[in-house]
Amino acid sequence: MRTIHVKTASADYPVFIGRNLLAQVARHVQRSVQKSAARSTFVLTSPEIWALWGKQFLAPFPKGQQPTALFLPAGERFKRLAQVERLASELAEAGADRSSLLIAFGGGIIGDLAGFLAAIYMRGIDYIQVPTTLLAQVDSSVGGKTGVNLAAGKNLIGSFHHPRAVFADIDVLQTLPDRELRAGLFESVKAGIIRDAALFRFMEQNSKTILAREPAALERVIVASIRMKAGVVAIDERESGLRMILNYGHTLGHAIEAATGYRTLLHGEAIAWGMLAALQIALARNTVGSDQAERIEQTILAYGPLPPFRATPAKLLAAAGRDKKNRAGTRRFILPKGIGNAVIVEDVMEAELLSAINWTLAHAHK
């Protein structure tokens, strides 16, 4: 088992990465329950994940001390305030109080919603992340961003609320659908491109073993991705500067997700398209050399296939303008500046964006 400490201005917690970690979750909870005797524990999960892993999750807990399971149906359309209210009511009815502990056991949707529920239930209770998708392990479970969607856009309601601990169990990834695995791996490729050249090279050279879910290869990718994110969040917890580099590929990626109604592509796939698009801007500006750009493109594609999608340039342009990360009047982009290095630029012109959009649509329409 490997441990990475996330240390920010407001939080300090361990992220454990390894195999057979579900037993450790129970042990950790037991210890924290002993410290505060009346503490009741709850686990938020989905029916599908519970059917696959619920038994293994509960087995290490002593009889009578097992967490009470609460459920959120799978799908982005359930990451909404109405579900937060329903679940808060269920917590209240079950007698949850300020000392209660919530465990998020699922992908990024469960983690984001559980974290937000924990942030506001009785003005804040403790929670633990047990991410079950690769994306949640390498990205969403670390860093303290929690929240839900509005009809007007994704993640528009939320708060910063860090977990007390994160347990990334590599074994639970064995049941993850292949497409979900690849979608998460795009965020790890992103981590390599923006800040970790060694991770990039490992992913460049070992796509077969990684995609075959060889545990040692997965562990290496997960550990490096989390270490990168933890390092960035330690320096800039609230995204006032450096943390923005984590949004490489996300300006156009979010626009593609919005323009396709969040139905055609998984988040990681949209981000992969967005990374390729931003790479075109970087190439045109000579921010990145063509040989390095070629390696970046090939490595992203090695974790494909990238599903095609349809959208009009006008729709993508409008959606990119709406991205909440843009300041009024300017278009901010994260551009790769060689492998393992990225820059934040504020002055991307509409014409540059449009030519990147046209490049993307020409490749995505196949």
- Which spans of this chain sit near ligand NAD (rule: CB under 6 A)? 46, 48-49, 52, 74, 76, 79, 106-110, 112, 132-133, 135-136, 139-140, 143, 145, 154-155, 172, 175-176, 180, 267
Q: Which of 28, 161, 220, 267 is the catalytic position?
A: 267
Element (H, E) at 334: strand 333-336
24 to each of 13, 39, 90, 230, how far by Cα in Å? Answer: 15, 18, 27, 21
Give one DSSP letter per residue of 134-186, joined into a string.
HHIIIIITSS-EEEEEETTEEEEEEEE---SEEEEEGGGGGGS-HHHHHHHHH
Q: Give the residue with the Cβ less far from ligand NAD, 175 or 312.
A: 175
Q: DSSP label at 293?
A: H
Q: Which is nearer to ligand NAD, 249 or 336 (CB)?
A: 249
Angle between helices 267-284 and 290-302 (to 10 degrees): 170
Instruction: Identify which of residues 140 and 292 has a Cβ nearer to ligand NAD in the complex.
Output: 140
Are the C-beta atoms of 169 and 19 separated by less than 8 Å?
yes
| Catalytic position from the list 31, 63, 123, 263 | 123
* Closest distance of CB 29 from ligand NAD, Å: 20
Looking at 220, 243, 257, 269, which residue is catalytic? 243
Return the structure tokens found at 105: 């056991």
Q: Catalytic: 28?
A: no
123: annotated active-site residue: yes
Cα 42 from Cα 182, distance rounded (Å): 30
Residue 90 annotated among the catalytic residues of the structure:
no
Active-site residue, from 162, 164, 227, 250:
250
Closer residue to ligand NAD (CB): 133 or 207: 133
CB of 274 to ligand NAD, least distance (A): 13
CB of 357 to ligand NAD, least distance (A): 22
Q: How far is the CB of 145 from ligand NAD (least distance, A)?
A: 4
Contacts (Cβ under 8 Å, ≥6 apart) of 291: none
Catalytic residue among 28, 180, 187, 237, which? 187
CB of 92 to ligand NAD, least distance (A): 25
363 is catalytic: no
Q: Say how far apart CA 294 and CA 288 lie, in whole Å.
A: 10
Answer yes or no: 254 catalytic: yes
Cα Rg, the chain, nearest whole Å: 20
Q: Looking at beta carbons only, is 139 or 196 nearer to ligand NAD? A: 139
Element (H, E) at 61: none
- Shortest CB 308 distance to ligand NAD, Å: 20
* Nearest-angstrom CA–CA distance, 307 and 288: 26
Angle between helices 250-259 and 313-322 (to 10 degrees): 120
Distance CA 46, CA 159 (A): 22
When the beta carbons of 136 and 339 are compared against ligand NAD, the nearer one is 136
Q: Is 187 a catalytic residue?
A: yes
Beta carbon of residue 296, minimum distance to ligand NAD (angstroms, whole number): 20
Which among 239, 315, 332, 337 is annotated as catalytic? 239
State yes or no: is 5 an active-site residue: no
Q: Name which of 56 and 341 has its Cβ closer to ligand NAD.
A: 56
Assess contact for 29 and 103: CB atoms under 8 A: yes
Positions annotated as catalytic residues are 123, 145, 187, 229, 239, 243, 247, 250, 254, 267
